[in-house]
Amino acid sequence: MSLGALTFLSPWLLASLAALPIIYWLLRTVPPSPRQVTFPPTRILVGLENKDKTPAASPWWLTLIRLLAAALFIFALADPVMNPTREAALKGTGPIAIVVDNGWSSAAHWDQRKRMIDRLITDAEGQSRAVVIVPTAPTSKGATAQIEAPSDARSTAAALMPQPFAPDRLAAANTLAAAVEGAAGGTSVVWLSDDIDHDGNAAAAAAKLRELATDGTLAVVEDGGNREPLGLNAGIGIQSGRLEARILRPNGDGTRDGFVHAISTRGQSLAEASFRFLPGQTELVVPFDLPLELRNQIGRVEIAGERAAGAVSLIDARSQWHRVALISGESREQAQPLLAPLYYIEKALAPSAELIRPKGSNLVAGIQEALSQNASVLMLADIGTLSGDAAHHVADWVEKGGVLVRFAGPRLENGGDELLPVPLRLGGRTLGGALSWSTPQKLGPIENQSPFAGLTVPPEVTVNRQVLADPAMLGPDVQVWARLEDGTPLVTERKLGQGRIILFHVTANTDWSNLPLSGLFVEMLRRIAALGTSVASGDASGSVTADNAVATAADMPAVLPPLQTLNGYGVLGPPPPTAQPVAAEKAHDLVPTLDHPPGYYGAGNAPRAINVLHTDSSLAPLPPLPSGTDRLNYSSESSQPLKPWLLLAALGLLFADMIAVILLRAGGFGGVRRRTQRPAGAALALAVIGAGAMLTVAPPQAFAQTSGASPAGAAVPRPQNPSVNQATDERAIEATAKVTLGYVLTGNAEVDEISRVGLDGLGRLLSVRTAIEPGRPLGINILTDEIAFYPVIYWPVLPDAQALPEDVLAKIDAYMKQGGLIVFDTRDYGLGLTGTGGPSEAALKRITGKLDMPRLEPVPENHVLTKAFYLLRNFPGRWDGGQLWVEALDNDDGPSRRARISDGVTSIIVTANDLASAWALDESGRPLYPTVGGGENQREMAFRTGVNIVMHALTGNYKADQVHVPALLERLGQ
């Protein structure tokens, strides 16, 4: 019997409610309370006998408590259930068959499935029905299902775990059919699905289950909402050339947000990218923009929070990028680039490798340039002979682990050199043509031990010319990776030290073969590029680190044993006993099973990753189910049996009744026969009844929401005083709202005030004479304040200035190297000294002694500072005569030239002329301090010095670039 969301499993017990009036008549009385009798000495035995034996009537609230307790007992015995949507799956009298999708897609919400299984077993136990549990992903070989008692079924269910491969539902349906064959009564089949049609057989499996549940009920439990499983496959994008994560979902209902993490082989998170599914989308591609060195350290890509093997994609050498240097000896590279050999190589490798094209035509210089950039693979197209320094550098590089790939051509037909896998015959071989009886040869099948194993050989690929290997020199150290149909080697390889030498016996363009036009050529080059390991030009050890060991894939065995495998939750660990080796030629497109779970296979230094999903995988939703199938979802798990809570509430009311009777017998409520009860008694009764009602109607989830915890289970952060952060933010906003000049606070109030009014006066002049409208100058605590907001910092140096801490020096050094300008003013020239060796010079050395200071020099005649805004020859302040020192501009064009780095802006200026005092003005614009030596004309030049310093810091070397304008105009004909 159902009443909305409430259902009674034993409704016939509700007939006991008719006995409530009798219970009321029986429970409306209470024993009489004891009488209080005066005990005078003269009446010891008189009047003590109470002849009134009629029990007094109980208070109305006590009778109500007893009636409620009786009613709750009756309701509890009727087995009420809140939200009983799952009970529809249990119709029938035979066994309850629980078919569980325990493939990789069930792992993310496995706890939910375990609770559902436990609930179904409990319901079967209440109905005295047997249970049979059938997993759709086998957990062991030769597994069978059997009908069990509910207690035994709990042990079977506890042993179930999600598997790291897709389920086989047809096999599970056949196993269930064999288990329930001959079972009496109608079988109820409950299919706990994962919402995915993995192999296209979901409809057939559902029809088979429908046949087994002819006399019972077939119910399918689905995830629904935004709880559908997600899949992931990561690899190099064909178009973008970046590492991309392809995220899949079976249905396009609603939106879905999340994050994808790229994790190194050491477990470090290297990158994070967000994704968002829009309604209707079932596939997303999320790229990772990482430097080459970081990208090659990625060992796995996974969806955050989706604990499933299908949400993890393992990365091996095939998905790593390598630096490939390309050098060609063909002279028509510039004339016909689309026919050049390197054009086809570039097109094949550009999406999956970082290509290096040395500048210039000098072979030795080109090889040195390529190797200096830590190329892992060097490809030479039609270079006949390597000799001298070039041969020595290449041989040394290969011995340290490099991969040398050479392509044949007219030059190589004349012989070759020592850096070939096998000696060649002179003249080569022509297949087809007017003067040949032979015809172009097709490619033969690729052998299993070749790194090209598993690649499909297109039948249209032919070879009409090649260089021939000397058959007598094909020893055991020479490997043939590809052959023609007649057995002639097409690709040969030989080890040299820790590296290898590979030769294509045809050209890299279409002159000798149409192989470069095929997809086979692309896959060949990508697999060869994956063989390389980073070799530092100056590293003589040639050792392979743990980070790039996976890239040294060399010997591809015919059989790849399992090294580490994923479990159903996507955790990498030792392979299970059921894991079997994989044939190398089948590893490329292997579908994981119980025998071959996903993970790493092969040699320890060159494993092959086998993932649940491949580049062409997709997740399809479940097809329409047979008619009469009940569709449920796991959210119905919120239904709760109310019997325990009703019994608890009834016991609570009985306990309250006992306390009330004790109080009544003790006279705690003012006597039994009083018709007017105290308000406290009524209040107590109402409180007890209210508590019982709450216990009756509130499911367990309601108490969790009133416990004071946050919805996610995290602690609610305490409010903090934001005054410090707010002040810092306000200062940053003020410093960046306008061009702001800063001055270092020295602790001397007078000097700090001079710095402030001096920069304020300079700012007013800048507003009048230039386009700059600076804000008010700000004082800087060099120890604590951020200095990156200020293009120019004025630093008055006092004689007692002390050395700075290491972290402050690092901050100043970073500021100067990133384009900032600091003006150190020792202010001591007016003391009669020469500007060198003044009293503040020692303090300046204490401040700057540990800085990474550039070399200083007096301002050169043509320095940008002399013409940034005004044309200046000297740079006075309050004093005139002190030398202005700036960063020295080196004449070389090397990368260490600091001026080039910061756009020609000197990072430091040192003066002793007390610039701030010359700039200081009062509110009316009148000077505060006299200039010594040149009067107001000197003050004007001091202001012009300040203007040039600010303009130089803001505009860089644009004035220096103007010297090229006449030459540019002349070239343009103007």
Within 8 A by CB and 6+ apart from 133, the residues are 98, 100, 117, 145, 148, 153, 156, 157, 160
Q: Please indicate, yes or no, whether the overall pTM of this predicted structure exceeds 0.75.
A: no
Higher pLDDT, 319 or 136: 136
Based on the domain organization, do 867 and 932 belong to the same domain?
Answer: yes
Instruction: Kindly tell me if the per-residue pLDDT of 291 is higher than 70.
Output: yes
Based on the domain organization, do 407 and 524 belong to the same domain?
Answer: yes
Is position 131 within any domain?
A: yes
Joined tokens for residue 334: 């510039």
Joined tokens for residue 764: 């007013």
Based on the domain organization, do 89 and 178 belong to the same domain?
Answer: yes
Is position 543 within any domain?
A: no
What's the Cα-to-Cα distance from 319 to each of 263, 325, 531, 608, rounded to whole Å? 14, 19, 12, 11
Q: What is the CATH number of the domain that holds 939?
A: 3.40.50.12140
Based on the domain organization, do 29 and 111 belong to the same domain?
Answer: no
Instruction: Kindly tell me if the per-residue pLDDT of 221 is higher than 60.
Output: yes
Q: Specify the pLDDT at position 548.
A: 37
The answer to whether the Cα torsion of 196, 198, 201, 206 is positive or negative is negative
Based on the domain organization, do 268 and 343 belong to the same domain?
Answer: no
Instruction: Kindly tell me if the per-residue pLDDT of 553 is higher than 70.
Output: no
pLDDT tens column, 489-546: 999 999 998 899 999 999 998 889 999 999 999 989 988 887 876 554 333 333 333 3
Based on the domain organization, do 340 and 465 belong to the same domain?
Answer: yes
Conformation bin of residue 252: beta by default, left when phi > 0, alpha when psi is -120 to 50: alpha
Q: Specify the pLDDT at position 896.
A: 38
Q: Which residue has the tokens 């069978």?
A: 144
* 724: Cα separation from own chain's centroid: 33
Is position 349 within any domain?
A: yes
Q: Specify the pLDDT at position 483.
A: 92
Across 758-890, where does the E strand assignment appear? 778-780, 792-796, 821-825, 856-858, 885-887
Based on the domain organization, do 121 and 211 belong to the same domain?
Answer: yes
Q: Specify the pLDDT at position 758.
A: 95
Q: What is the CATH number of the domain that holds 118?
A: 3.40.50.410
Higher pLDDT, 729 or 596: 596
pLDDT tens column, 314-363: 988 766 677 888 988 654 444 456 677 788 998 888 877 788 888 765 67
Count how many domains the chain has: 5
Q: Calculate mean pLDDT across residues 281-308.
A: 85
Based on the domain organization, do 871 and 769 belong to the same domain?
Answer: yes
Is position 684 within any domain?
A: yes
CA 281, 285, 289 angle in degrees (round to 5)?
150
pLDDT tens column, 830-841: 664 434 456 678
Based on the domain organization, do 463 and 344 belong to the same domain?
Answer: yes
Is position 721 within any domain?
A: no
Based on the domain organization, do 116 and 177 belong to the same domain?
Answer: yes
Q: Specify the pLDDT at position 99.
A: 93
Q: Calculate mean pLDDT across residues 714-730.
A: 51
What's the Cα-to-Cα distance from 851 to each of 844, 846, 886, rounded to whole Å? 11, 10, 15
Strands 403-407 and 377-381: parallel
Three-state DSSP at 113 gives helix
Is position 546 within any domain?
A: no
- Rounded Cα gap, residues 639 and 659, in angstroms: 34
Report whether 921 contacts 870 (CB < 8 A): no
Is position 536 within any domain?
A: no
Number of Cβ within a 10 Å radius of residue 624: 8
Is position 674 within any domain?
A: yes
Q: What is the CATH number of the domain that holds 385?
A: 3.40.50.880
User: What range defines the domain where residue 10 resides?
Assistant: 2-34+52-81+643-700
Q: Calculate mean pLDDT across residues 645-658.
A: 85
Based on the domain organization, do 310 and 432 belong to the same domain?
Answer: no
Based on the domain organization, do 807 and 935 belong to the same domain?
Answer: yes
What's the Cα-to-Cα distance from 591 to each of 202, 244, 655, rounded to whole Å? 18, 21, 64
